[in-house]
Chain A
Amino acid sequence: MKHLALAAGLIAATQAVADTPVLTIYTYDSFISDWGPGPAVKAAFEETCDCEVKFVGAGDGAALLSRLKLEGARSEADIVLGLDTNLTALAVESGLIAEHGQSVTVDVPNPFGEAGAWDDPHFLPYDWGYFAFVKNVDLDAPSNFKDLAESDLKIVIQDPRSSTPGLGLLMWVKTAYGDEAPEIWEGLSDNIVTVTKGWSEAYGMFLEGEADMVLSYTTSPAYHIIAEEDDSKDVAVFDEGHYMQIEVAGKLAATDQSELADKFLAFMVTDAFQSIIPTTNWMYPAVTPAEGLPKGFEALVSPEKALLIPAGEVVAKREEALAEWLSALSQ
């Protein structure tokens, strides 16, 4: 181990000698994969910044936050990219995130105020989507959770304790039904085939025909339409509204590349970054690029009502919602 440590130290040292500044971005693993936005984003920003972008992957959004807390102020990270609004309050509370000091106009639905306004002083959004149940086009879909609970349809969902979409569903039901949420979960319990650790398992099971619907995003069918030329998938539109996921990035308070980090956050909401998002992350860009959305996205449904819990209320709500979920489904 000693030699390895030494070798690693030497590598780090040679990097420090080279004078190109390095911007270290912590993100979730699927962002940096060859099929995610990472490689294109790195290339696009490096063209303009005279710097090197170093992506570091850490599981998913929640694992990312745990990693930041684990490293604390010692963290190498300059930017954290990939938290969602369910996690931002916890991140801010940890004191690790600096204010971005930028004002932007975004194309993200805003259930709390003026359209296009973005008033989180710590985080800027880069993409967003609605949670939804993905199904085959020919399935007669229920139009809300109550219908679903009364139907014989089978669904696969993710565990809110280990998965971001799973937590999203928990918040969706809680926001839509409040104190009625436990009854909804009890009603759904015989529709739920099983609960998986993460999104991939659930989506894979759905594609194998294990369930009629799977919890995913309204943008999921876009993948099948664009990458596979397959228009057999769409989503069930629920009339109580759809819970949103807004993915954001922020600057670490302890960064040693403060200026570069600011530059990256500003770059993030420009077309060069935003046009990469739709067909790599399969989400809506936070700011619609000038050339519009790629062909195929127009086929997606747009829910009439966007649901979201204000970031500050998430922590209290999720404890309560998790307890209700556990007790309804453990019987």
Chain B
Amino acid sequence: MAVGPVAIRRWPGIIAATVVVALILGTLLAVGLRAEAGAGLGPADFAAIRFTVWQAFLSATLSCLIAVPVARALSRRRFAGRGLLILLLGAPFILPVIVAVMGLITVFGRNGLLNGLLGALGLPEVSIYGLHGVVLAHVFFNLPLATRLILQGWAAIPAERFRLAAQLGFGSRDTFRVLELPMLGRVLPAAWAVIFAICLSSFAVALTLGGGPRATTVELAIYQAFRFDFDLGKAALLSIVQIAMAGSAALVALKLSRLDGFGGGLDRGIRRWDGHGRGLRLADSLFIALAATFLILPLGMVVLRGIGGMADLPASVWAAAVNSIWVALVSTVLMLCFALPMAVAASGKRTVVEAVGLLGIAASPLVIGTGLFIIVNPVADPFALALPVTALVNAVMALPFALRVMIPETRDVVQDYGRLSLSLNMNGWTWLRLVLLPRIRAPLGFAAGLAAALSMGDLGVIALFADPETATLPLQMYRLMGAYRMQSAAGAALLLLALSLGLFWLFDKGGRGRAEA
């Protein structure tokens, strides 16, 4: 458990973490300092805090619980289309909120497929609107992420362990107890914390599917403080509450997660000998089929609705798509500049570095954007910087996912090869190039794919800095909707989905190379 002398330097990671903290707290401070004396938190705000925590807790817990059997099934079964399914698992997570909500509504809404089916069978209508709808949507968004994170945990168990388990005659239950349970203990708490943090800053999803002001979240309260009351102090205060909630959840979860790995293996392709029973096969197939249906149906509806609008997309949508691709690529590079050193620095016991990474997702985009605006405005024209600023903020927002994906394997590399590297006097770039990078290639590719796709799909701070020429694809899609052009907007959404998935696939595939995920 103790991390011995290893040939790595922590200071680049600590510098990167400091920059992230400075960005988040600096913008918060800028907003807070700009505030005039305003109202403190009232009963409505405390109600919003309670609701926010509760729905985030339910969403994160349910996403993780469902993800375990799905990931387990995917990890021990091989079937045609498995790679494609794993790729598509990334899709809901990277969709712009409004597109995903519309997709969900076409399946689960009053006029959706599900109610159509129930109506045909003579059964009563079900309503998606309410706390269950909020949780359903958040599970739709985050189940894939949880599945991928857990699947990665499975892939990190060296093939030799499964081989040994098979030789010892382990059945499915023993394999679970001896190999899989410790792995889950390592992977689950941190995955839970990331999803909890995402759900904390939910706003449009919670409001729309929550069915009204009962489903008021902290982010909505921040929005209200900003634009309804222009009470910047309160906005900053609420943002601190949000960050504190995510930060403490992260610290607790990371403390709970076990840090020791399985030790090194020979990087063989994994084969499984457990799980041959008919019941197990059936159960696994069922889990995969259910999860795939749940995730792919709404996506299919997004595609169907979009095809009609694809044909006559205005030229400005294509121009915006080019902008978005640039922002996504720059944002990915920036994210890696933060994430790689931070992952190395976090490879010891320093969970605080990872907790810092999580703050990016918990911070309100509205507060970060406004803070940056206040900081940039006196020295430069914020509108000239719209795209670079968007790329930077997107990079910080993607950081928690990237860290969660990269830290476990980086930690294994440091613990398993640290001493050997040191004895060979290998350090710095050589170590990075020969030891670390080849071994974390898969998580690196996955993290880069997530960052690129997230940046493509996120409306982000560009909405606060927009001028007519510099729009990103999500912004252009919102503009189409705002101009009644729902069909073209659906076309733009499909283009966005295709581009996001394409980027995600390129990076993810590049990372996995020949190896099986």
CB pair A11 B485 closer than 8 Å: no
Q: Per-residue 0/1 for B470-487: is the Cβ within 8 Å of any A Cβ (1 yes, 0 no)? A: 000001101111111110
Known: A9-B379, A54-B467, A194-B207. 15 other contacts (CB 8 A): A5-B379, A8-B384, A35-B483, A59-B227, A154-B110, A159-B220, A194-B211, A197-B207, A200-B478, A200-B482, A201-B208, A203-B484, A203-B486, A209-B110, A210-B109
**Is there an interface contact between A197 and B204, defined as CB atoms closer than 8 Å?**
yes
Contact of B213 among A36, A56, A70, A195 (CB under 8 A): A195
Tell me whether chain B's interface is mostly helix, strand or loop, or mixed: helix
Please measure, in the bound complex, the distance between the C-alpha atom of A12 and the C-alpha atom of B213, giving whole angstroms.
44
| Shortest Cβ distance from residue A319 to the other chain B in the assembled complex, whole angstroms | 9
| Chain B contacts with A in 371-417, Cβ cutoff 8 A | 373-374, 376-381, 383-385, 388
Chain B residues contacting A282 (CB-CB under 8 Å) are 484
Query: What is the total of A-B residue contacts with beta carbons within 8 Å?
Result: 171
* Assembled-state Cα–Cα distance A57/B463 (Å): 8
- Bound together, the chains give a CA A4 to CA B390 distance in angstroms of 13
The segment from A60-68, A106-114, A305-313 found at the interface with B is A60-68
CB contact between A227 and one of B379, B383, B478, B484 (< 8 Å): that residue: B484
Contact string against B for A residues 201-223, beta-carbon threshold 8 Å, 1 for contact and 0 otherwise: 10111011111000000001001
Given contacts A33-B482, A70-B34, A197-B207, contact A161 B223 (CB under 8 A): yes
Do A66 and B208 contact each other (CB < 8 Å), given the known contacts A8-B385, A159-B213, A329-B213?
no
Say yes or no: is A48 at the interface (Cβ < 8 Å to chain B): no
Considering the complex, which residues of chain A in the window 154-190 have a beta carbon less than 8 Å from any beta carbon of chain B? 154, 159-162, 189
Please give me the 3 A-B residue pairs with the lowest Cβ-Cβ distance, nearest first: A209-B111, A35-B483, A200-B481
Closest to A167 in B: B228
**Interface size (A, Cβ < 8 Å)?**
65
- 29 A–B pairs (Cβ distance < 8 Å), ordered by A: A4-B380, A11-B384, A12-B381, A35-B485, A54-B467, A57-B466, A59-B464, A62-B227, A63-B227, A65-B227, A90-B230, A154-B110, A161-B220, A161-B223, A162-B227, A194-B129, A194-B212, A195-B207, A195-B208, A196-B204, A200-B98, A200-B481, A200-B482, A201-B101, A201-B208, A205-B109, A207-B486, A208-B111, A209-B111
CB of B44 within 8 A of chain A? yes
CB within 8 Å of A: which of B335-369? none
B-contacting residues, A1-32, CB 8 Å: 4-5, 7-9, 11-12, 29-30, 32
Total residues of chain B contacting the partner, CB 8 A? 62
For B388, list chain A residues within 8 Å (CB): 4
Question: Given the interface contacts A71-B377, A194-B129, A194-B209, does A30 sit within 8 Å of B467 by beta carbon?
Answer: no
> Quick check: is A73 within 8 A (CB to CB) of the other chain?
no
A239 to B388, CA, bound (A): 52
Which residue of B has the minimal Cβ distance to A280? B483
CB pair A329 B227 closer than 8 Å: no
Q: Nearest CB to that of B210 among chain A residues?
A: A194
Whether A259 is near chain B, meaning CB under 8 Å from some CB there, is no
Question: Does A55 count as interface, using CB distance less than 8 angstroms?
Answer: yes
Asked if B479 and A33 make an inter-chain contact with CB atoms under 8 angstroms apart, the answer reads yes
Query: Which residues of A are found within 8 Å of B373, using beta-carbon distances?
Result: 70
CB contacts (< 8 Å) of A59 on chain B: these are 227, 463-464
Specify which chain B residues have a CB less than 8 angstroms from the CB of A322 in the assembled complex: 228
Q: Would you give the 0/1 interface string for B211-241, flagging 1 where the beta carbon is closer than 8 Å to chain A?
A: 1111000001001101110101000000000
Chain A nearest Cβ from B500, distance in angstroms: 20
Q: Is the CB of A57 within 8 A of B467?
A: yes
CA distance A249 to B66 in the complex (A): 53
- Contact A223-B380, Cβ < 8 Å, known A8-B385, A29-B466, A59-B464: no
Are A69 and B207 interface neighbours, CB within 8 A?
no
Q: In the complex the two chains form, is A326's CB within 8 Å of B468's CB?
A: no
Nearest A residue to B388, CB-CB: A4
- Given known pairs A55-B468, A196-B207, A208-B102, the reply for A34 and B314 (CB within 8 Å) is yes
Cβ A66 vs Cβ B44 within 8 A: no
The residue in chain B whose Cβ has the minimal distance to the Cβ of A216 is B484
A34, A56, A71, A195: which contacts B316 (Cβ < 8 A)?
Answer: A34
Q: Given A32-B468, A65-B230, A209-B110, A162 and B224 touching (CB < 8 A)?
A: yes
Give B240-265 interface residues, CB cut-off 8 Å to A: none
- Identify which of A59, A159, A223, A329 gathers the most chain B CB atoms within 10 Å of its CB: A159
B49 within 8 A of A: no
Q: Say if the beta carbon of A325 comes within 8 Å of chain B.
A: yes
**Cβ proximity bits A92-110 to B, threshold 8 Å, 1 near / 0 not:** 0000000000000000000
Contacting residue for A33 out of B98, B385, B483, CB 8 A: B483
| Smallest CB gap from B377: residue in A | A71
A74: min CB distance to chain B, Å: 7
**With a CB–CB cut-off of 8 A, which chain B residues contact A197?**
203-204, 207-208
Residue of B nearest to A28 (CB): B482
